[in-house]
Amino acid sequence: MDISVIIPLFNEDESLAELEAWIRKVMVANGYSYEIVFIDDGSRDQSWSVIEKLVESNPNVRGIKFRRNYGKSAGLNTGFEAARGNVVITMDADLQDSPEEIPELYRKITEEGYDLVSGWKKKRFDPITKTIPTKFYNAATRWISGIQLNDFNCGLKAYRSQVVKSIEVYGEMHRYIPVIAKWSGFTKIGEQVVQHQARKYGVTKFGIWRFINGPLDLVSILFVGKFGKRPMHFMGVIGTFMFMAGLTMFFALGINKLYLLTQGLPAKNIALISWFYVALTTMIIGTQLFLAGFLAELVVRNAPDRNSYLIDKSIGKVKRTRETKANKTKVDKVG
């Protein structure tokens, strides 16, 4: 199958039929084999009834319904698991993403060899209260992640199938899928200017909280991606540095007091000097960070996926045999 179109949605019953017809028209015109997977994120309107009708009328349409609202990340992750196409396209269900962009996105993946192509809504029809914070958010994400994209949060994206089968999206991490993909080893990430359509039906589902949760999610992704398998390299280093800094201050206070005493000069009790408590606090925090890193290292080393790595390719006859302590079973993989 050429293309899987993944569409997470919440209360979008007015736009679904029009969106499905638009996608079908584009696919037929370009001769693609395709599927459309609607992920109903616990809608309270008639969205699921519309999806059921679309499945009956078009065998290329599939639907998945959540019992309650879990969020866009959950919808995308479920859609990624269900996708069967060689190229996976994600788009929003509100008709603000144009299916006419699909052929060029598909071409960039299949012909230019990109792992991920993100849409860039260069000209937007959003209010200034949304566009200005979005610009700051994109600039901060570019600076922290090193990925030169102008619109990280654009719902219209294209992925090589291997990308979506290798990453996990949860919480509010859908905004940072390019960052997650990069940390998973998929570094050929491109961008395409796409048309932004004014919202035709319904209302936006995103509020001010995304500008608060977004930076926290980015820090979480960067930390887990870089130190997830070696937490001691982060907390242990900082803890050791803080402990040594506190110890240095403590010795400096002691040496200073001894010098004053040998010179017959008045010397304060070290416990009455504020820097003594700064040094003591720094040493305690440093010890706690070191122990936290040590405990995290023990957890990671005992995790079942501690040696789970993404293998891109193998050549020739590769045989891996491992005997587990639990059941003494052997696993052979030939690729």
Give the rounded percent of residues in the chain with a pLDDT score beyond 90.
45
Sort strands 87-90 and 34-40 into parallel, antiparallel or unpaired. unpaired
257: tokens are: 């007091």
**123: CB partners within 8 A, 6+ apart:** 195, 196
Tens-digit pLDDT profile for residues 193-219 = 998 776 666 666 555 555 566 666 666
Confidence (pLDDT) at 77: 92
Tens-digit pLDDT profile for residues 235-262 = 788 888 999 999 999 899 889 888 888 8
Mean pLDDT of the chain: 82
Is pTM beyond 0.85 here? no
Confidence (pLDDT) at 91: 95
Instruction: Please check the confidence at residue 66 and state whether its pLDDT lies above 90.
Output: yes
The CB-based long-range contact list for 61-65 (8 Å cut-off, 24+ gap) reads: 61/20, 61/35, 61/36, 62/35, 62/36, 62/37, 62/38, 63/37, 63/38, 63/39, 64/37, 64/38, 64/39, 64/40, 65/40
Q: Which amino acid is at 267?
A: A
Identify which has the larger pLDDT, 127 or 179.
179
- What is the full DSSP assignment across 279-329? HHHHHHHHHHHHHHHHHHHHHHHTSTTTT--------S--EEEEE-TTT--
Of 111, 105, 119, 188, whose CA–CA distance to 150 is shortest?
Answer: 119
Identify the three-state secondary structure at position 108.
Answer: helix
- Give the largest Cα separation in the chain, rounded: 98
**Among 88-97, 191-200, 259-268, 323-332, whose mean pLDDT is lowest?**
323-332
The structural domains of the chain, with segments of one domain joined by +, span 3-227, 228-335
Confidence (pLDDT) at 216: 65
**Among 86-95, 179-188, 204-213, 220-229, whose mean pLDDT is lowest?**
204-213
How many residues are listed for the chain in this entry? 335
Average of per-residue pLDDT across 52-75: 93
CA angle 102, 106, 108 (to 5 degrees): 120
Confidence (pLDDT) at 326: 42
Confidence (pLDDT) at 299: 75
| CATH architecture of the domain covering 3-227 | Alpha-Beta Complex (3.90)
Confidence (pLDDT) at 301: 65
Tens-digit pLDDT profile for residues 283-327 = 999 999 888 888 877 776 665 555 454 555 556 555 555 444 444
Residues 106, 22 contacting (CB under 8 angstroms)? no
Tens-digit pLDDT profile for residues 15-51 = 999 999 999 999 999 999 999 999 999 999 999 999 9
Instruction: Please check the confidence at residue 146 and state whether its pLDDT lies above 80.
Output: yes
